[in-house]
Each structure stands twice: as C-alpha cells, then as structure tokens.
C-alpha cells in the first residue's frame, strides 16, 4: 500500500515536470496573442525558448515589506510581431505555468537582468 502511494507521488511529480518543461499549451499562445489585441499586429511568430522559476517580487506597502507578485514557474517565449506599415518587433515574454485559470504574462526586459 505504501509502495503504491509512493509510486503515485513520484508519477505525479514526474508528470508535473514533464508538462512544465516539454509541453507548450495552446493557452499560452492564446494568452500572448490576447496581450497584443488592439495594437494593429498582423502576424505573430511565437517560439518557446525555455522554462525558469521566478521569485516573488517584494514592495513597500504602508511601511511594510510585502510580497507583491507571486513566484512560480514560467515558460519563456520569444515573440516576433509584425505590424502594418512598420518594422517587426522581437521581445521575450514569460507566461505563468498554470493548469487552470488565466495565466499571468510578463514582458522580460533584458536590461533588468531577468
């Protein structure tokens, strides 16, 4: 009984990391495209470049240091956007790895050392 429980736990953890590192869900692509809605973007090229853990952000609220953004695993994508009458733009975004709900999307600024 304990062996089966241990085997189930190992399979669950292994499945989570396989999903995290190997799968690029369609919801990530939809989230990136929704972020560009209304900007005049014509075509997208979205390429998965990696996965990483992002620590929680902290900030000052009423003279107390509190966690502002939650930490967690994020999938990193390189996005190239082409607009009518303008040059293409390439940047990186991090999409929060969530099974359910709307994933957080954060644009990565290479100058910030992220």
Render pLDDT for 41-96 as a digit per residue (tens, 0 to 9). 777 788 999 888 887 777 777 777 777 666 788 899 999 888 877 788 888 998 88
What mean pLDDT is predicted for residues 89-104? 84
pLDDT at 113 over 80: no
pLDDT at 114 over 70: no
The DSSP string of 75-103 is: EEEEEEEEETTS--EEEEEEEE--SSSPP
pLDDT at 11: 94
pLDDT at 105: 83
Greatest CA separation for the chain: 65
pLDDT at 112: 59
Of the candidate ranges 14-23, 43-52, 95-104, the one whose mean pLDDT is the lowest: 95-104
């Amino acid at each position: 009984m304990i062996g089966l429980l241990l085997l189930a736990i190992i399979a669950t953890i292994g499945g989570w990391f396989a999903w995290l590192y190997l799968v690029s869900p369609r919801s990530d692509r939809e989230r990136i495209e929704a972020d560009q809605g209304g900007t005049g973007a014509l075509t997208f090229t979205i390429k998965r470049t990696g996965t990483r853990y992002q620590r929680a952000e902290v900030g000052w609220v009423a003279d107390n240091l509190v966690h502002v953004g939650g930490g967690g695993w994020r999938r990193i994508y390189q996005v190239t956007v082409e607009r009518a009458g303008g040059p293409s733009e390439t940047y990186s975004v991090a999409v929060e790895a969530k099974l359910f709900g709307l994933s957080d999307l954060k644009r990565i600024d290479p100058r910030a050392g992220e």
